[in-house]
């Protein structure tokens, strides 16, 4: 398994950040590159087992399943169940913690996946720098009103 991780501090209270992370269908509003995002069927965006379908500008369709959601731990875990990405067994967790100094929010996105050796290094670099961190930057902008 390949492990990847990125973290950041958002200049917004946890109470403002959590609704955007908690709603599994809201990722389209803060993940760069998303052309469209919807929850399949009649499931709400906070139901464990819900499947979201993302249309990404660079890799086409990605289907992901919500595996766990904790309002106590402010954490969301999901897996990729279908994608053109050269990875498999992808599972990740987004977690929030309050930063009491300034009423800010610490955000961490950890992922694990498997990949063929010819794609492993590129994907290990891509996840935190081209997906996770840009998502944090977009969240920060959205929360600041920019």
Give pLDDT tens digits for 13-32.
999 999 999 999 999 999 99
- pTM for the predicted model, two decimal places: 0.92
pLDDT < 50 positions in the chain:
none
**Domain containing residue 47:** 2-144
| Number of structural domains in the chain | 1
Q: Which CATH number characterizes residue 107's domain?
A: 3.30.530.20
> H/E element holding 74?
none
Q: What is the pLDDT of residue 146?
A: 62
Give pLDDT tens digits for 134-144.
999 999 999 98
């Amino acid at each position: 398994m390949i492990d990847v991780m990125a973290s950041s501090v958002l200049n917004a209270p946890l109470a403002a950040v959590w609704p955007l992370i908690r709603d599994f269908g809201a990722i389209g509003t803060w993940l760069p590159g998303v052309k469209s995002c919807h929850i399949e069927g009649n499931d709400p965006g906070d139901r464990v087992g819900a499947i979201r379908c993302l249309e990404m500008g660079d890799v086409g369709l990605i289907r992901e399943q919500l595996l766990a959601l904790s309002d106590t731990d402010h954490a969301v875990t999901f897996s990729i169940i279908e994608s053109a990405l050269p990875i498999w067994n992808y599972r990740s967790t987004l977690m929030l913690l309050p930063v009491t100094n300034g009423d800010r929010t610490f955000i961490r996105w950890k992922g694990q996946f498997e990949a063929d050796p010819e794609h492993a290094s590129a994907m290990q670099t891509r996840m935190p720098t081209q997906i996770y961190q840009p998502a944090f930057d977009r969240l920060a902008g959205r929360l600041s009103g920019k």
